């Protein structure tokens, strides 16, 4: 409920790694995000610090990301930020910033792309849900002992 949603704009830093798991397809790759700023002394744009994020994708997003992304391509990633810390005996501790991706796409401000919709898997034959023909004569109801008015020939009954 109280998740930190982020949107990062950067470049694909590593080739997406695709895996089939028991819970479905999964993919991960790294995104490099470099801040740019205006250097007044040099009167030019300069690169700032580069942040690296590990992006995790699941299910159909994983399949599409693995098939669509290459190292160096500009991307926009939206998802939940997860910061992990870990310490191991005899080694310095480390931190990593992961993004559990909800959406991934190419940054069209820096290039073009060709979108292809993925085909949906064939579903079993759906039951007939067509609109019933309301213009047919109603079936006679079982006698209840009460007098019911008779329908005129060709008149539809509405219940």
3-class SS letters over 60-125: HHHHHHHHHCCCCCEEEEEEEEEEEEECCCCCCCEEEEEEEEEEEEECCCCCCCCCCCCCCCCCCC
pTM for the full predicted model: 0.69
Q: What is the pLDDT of residue 156?
A: 55
34, 49 in Cβ contact below 8 A?
A: yes
Model confidence at 141: pLDDT above 60: no
User: Average pLDDT of 131-141?
Assistant: 59
Predicted confidence (pLDDT) per residue in 76-125, tens digit:
999 999 998 888 888 888 888 999 999 999 999 999 988 888 887 666 65
User: Average pLDDT of 18-23?
Assistant: 91
User: Average pLDDT of 125-139?
Assistant: 60
Burial call 66-76: b when 16+ CB within 10 Å, e when fewer: bebbeeeebbb
């Amino acid at each position: 409920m109280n998740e930190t949603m982020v949107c990062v704009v950067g470049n694909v830093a590593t080739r997406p790694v695709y895996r089939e798991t028991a819970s479905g397809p999964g993919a991960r790759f790294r995104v490099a995000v470099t801040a740019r700023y205006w250097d007044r002394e040099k009167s030019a744009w300069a690169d700032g610090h580069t942040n690296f994020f590990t992006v995790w994708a699941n299910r159909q997003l994983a399949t599409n990301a693995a098939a669509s992304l290459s190292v160096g391509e500009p991307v926009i990633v939206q998802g939940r930020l997860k910061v992990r810390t870990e310490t191991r005996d005899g080694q310095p501790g480390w931190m990593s910033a992961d993004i559990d991706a909800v959406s991934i796409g190419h940054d069209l401000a820096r290039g073009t792309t060709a979108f292809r919709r993925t085909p949906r898997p064939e579903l079993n034959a759906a039951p007939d849900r067509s609109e019933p023909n309301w213009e047919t004569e109603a079936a006679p109801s079982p006698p209840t002992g009460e007098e019911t008015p008779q329908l005129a020939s060709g008149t539809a009954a509405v219940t």
